[in-house]
Amino acid sequence: MSQQLAFNIYPDDINGPVSGEVDLAAAVLAAHDGDALSAIRNLMADADFLRDQLYRASKVMSQGMVRGWRPRYERPA
């Protein structure tokens, strides 16, 4: 990835919603210099890393600490 997404992305630089919010899809593409395949590959790698971190955290946390709650690894459809 050519730059971090959180830096140097301003609402005026991205064609997006009028409310001043940053269009995250456009920001991801801008961070990858417009290379959609690179952006998708990077997002998939990030999602895989976060799933792994969630799995590890779920294995070490106590059932009493979370009162029986268990994390979901995929968002509901």
Rounded Cα–Cα distance for residues 53 and 65 (Å): 18
> Can you give the residue ranges of every domain in the chain?
11-66
CB 31 within 8 A of CB 1: yes
Q: Cα(54)–Cα(9) distance, rounded to whole angstroms? A: 28
Condensed to tens digits (0 to 9), the pLDDT of residues 23-39 reads 889 999 999 999 999 99
Query: What is the phi-psi region of residue 67: left when phi exceeds 0, alpha when psi lies from -120 to 50, beta otherwise?
Result: left
pTM for the full predicted model: 0.60
Q: Identity (one letter) of the amino acid at 24?
A: L
**pLDDT higher than 60, residue 6:** no
Four-residue CA torsion sign, 62, 66, 68, 73: negative
